[in-house]
Structure 1
Amino acid sequence: MSIECSSTIAVPRAEVFEWFRRPGAFSRLAPPWMSASIESEAGSLADGRAVLRLPGGLRWVAQHSAADFDPPQRFVDRTAVDGLASMPVGRLLPWRHTHEFEAVDDGHTRVVDRVDTPVPAMLLRPMFDYRYRQLTDDLAAHGQAAERGFEKSTIAVTGASGLVGSALTAFLTTGGHRVIRLVRHAPSNPDERQWDPDAPAADLLDDVDAVVHLAGASIAGRFTAAHKRAIADSRIGPTARLAALAKATGVPTFVCASAIGYYGADRGDEILTEIDSRGTGFLADVVADWEAAANTAASPATRVVRVRTGIVQSPRGGTLRLLRPLFAAGLGGAIGNGRQWLPWIGIDDLVDIYHRALWDTNLTGAVNAVAPQPVRNRDYTRTLARVLHRPAILPIPRFGPALLLGREGVAELAAASQRVQPTRLTAAAHPFRDEDLESCLRHLLGRTR
């Protein structure tokens, strides 16, 4: 059994092929709804080997074929056996994937995927729909940055292994940038540097063009005194020290994560933009202090951008990862009366916003990283249920989430209501990959057909 899929992209063939050769391509193309995670990427399309972790401790090993490697026209990979964990898949699920690149003209490339496997075509087509859109949108984003003069850069990233950090680093490396991961442990390769949040080394940011600071303890959890202290302590002090170092080193761009919690837990139907005042409550206090710490990096030589992030949509983490199995089982529902505003943002649109913060020198200060169309909680519920073809009829009373988060946690997280708009991005004519929630969820969950 075999399947053939293709898509034409408005990028020269050599550039498309080079994108596939760079680190991060496998990660950018891996469908997020599948229950598999990347253990390692192939070091070479000619003879490298990629490994996927599967449920039950199994492994999928994809071995690239040197005999079939013909740049920039073709590369081939097939399943292989490397240890007991890879034997069931390697023996029982044959797979040969031929990637071909045809030059339509000087500026267009037809990407063709031919797969020989017993896996039914109906299961594979959503994967290739996802891959083609990711490839098209990523190359377009890099092309826009190049048109604005953004050259290959060295970018230091904290929190690179997290949900946002892993997506952003893969995006940047496929764009030809060098990413230096600032890690707590001893470095394991030349693209890692050990970072002590309490006392960063004086040479930590040497030869770095930009810093993206994403690290911080998860806000999810019961709002105990210890949890609240971890949220604040992992953000304010480390950010101040890293910002001071960036300023002293003369790093041109310092981009720091922030959150829409700045506006407070509930502002009713008030439309909130970057110029609106901060709200009240624990998260508003933490975010205000966090942003103040980031601002200490600002100088004539260092531009600071604070990315106030909304509710990130990705089946790999965050709220969607928690809600997807509940809704798939028909147990989803709106929280309370469902009137709360939910300012969402797709994971790839968030990556694009961080990317823009790196190359758009006109962008400084606070930037609301939310989609242009916020929805109420009840509308989010209906949309996710529709995408998954499941009912979502029964509302969830507030005391349900309160059992896990406590009263304050429910108010600040599960029942929060913020009608936030991306005013600065809209003014900059920033293109969103997904302006409406349903198209975002369908893409991320493989439900586009």
Structure 2
Amino acid sequence: MRQITTENNAGIVSTQNTKCQIIGILEDGQQSLSQQAIDYLKTADLLIGSPRFMDAIQGLLKDEVKKQDFSGKIMQVPNWVQTALEQNKQVVVLATGDPLCHGIGSFLVKKLGSESCHLLPNLTLFQVVFSRLGLAWQGVRISSIHGKDTGEWSINAPFEHGMRDLLEDCRTNDIIACYTSPKNSPARIAQMLSCEKMQDQFEMLIASRLTKSDEQLTAWLGVDEVIKQSYPNPNLVILKRIKPIKNNVLIGVADADYMQRKPDKGLITKQEVRAVSLAKLQLRHNSIVWDIGAGSGSIGLEAAHLCPKGRVYAIEKNPADFEIILQNLAQSSLSNYHVEQGKAPDGLDAWENADAIFIGGSGGHLTGLIELCLSRLNIGGTLVMNFVTIENLNIAIETLKQFKTVEWHFIHLQISRSKPILNMQRLEAENPVFIISASFIKDNNNG
């Protein structure tokens, strides 16, 4: 690396290695830069950034500077920087606003090490737009869909969908500021909110080409209006909640509040059984949960409410029940739940290992399913199974006996509900349920 020699006020000479200079810049180019940033640009041997920013400061650069466009090549930037530093070259990376706010800065620090990076942050574009609006922004949730094309949002989209984090931010915050990209546009955000039946919960403001001479800020617009429009790039979106956040029941939702297939009493884990089963799962705020044989979805959906930082994977073989789960999901205000139509164990290999697994239906393959679930259960996790037949209870017990490192127990739960008779009340019994809980034996020496 190039050595830079400096002399302080006491006359002490020190030498330090050159670092990669990661400089924040705004759309107005040189006007947004400090003198320190300008000095670094004037000595740069390698300049890395987007073409629009490199062109904006062309007059500051040496004639022999090498310019490298990182559009679509972000993963290659650390290698470019490292190679140049090893050749004692001065490297500058240009990033929008504050490089550590949804920018390339944190990526480069992680890859190169903080000792190889020096950051000169600029204003974030959110600071600029909130200053234009005269609004305090310390309580704003900052989100981003800036990057590759996520595709349109749909109900029950896979967990890896690029807009899922933004949707969760919208569910849990009153004001959100979001970086966009040409493909992941304001209209796409509006379409997502409409798909999730949230179009009446927010107003949107779009700020385009901030700090440029043709800067534009819209008024506060309805979601349905934004769906129909396109806006100049680059832009960002402010989402302001106009209806209170829905205050959902976390556990013990009334049976009648779920859509359910009803050949008899309804194919649903009843409220009281559901509450006990969820308690046996030993859920935490970040638990990864499996719901196998999801039925109407009640167990998995309530688990998702109880694990806001976790994820729930569900599977249901019956097509009619699968459609009912989607309807229950649509009214649940959840972003951490995903259900698939299929027969377990098909597809389970693609799921994350679980902290809690619930089996409500096995499709006639109970022994193999228990063995698979135990092999995919994280240390400290719990497997819970509900049965209404003695035969399935016996199969489960005999299977669990084969695992010497697993401890288990079961309870018999009999619930009766009051029913009116004339001016009095009687009790009407629900089907009795066996609930088995299984987990790995704890090592008392290691916790």
TM-score, scaled to structure 1: 0.29
Higher helix share: 1
Higher relative contact order (CA 8 A, sep 6+): 1
Q: Select the structure of larger CA radius of gyration.
A: 2
Superposition TM-score, scaled by structure 2 size: 0.29
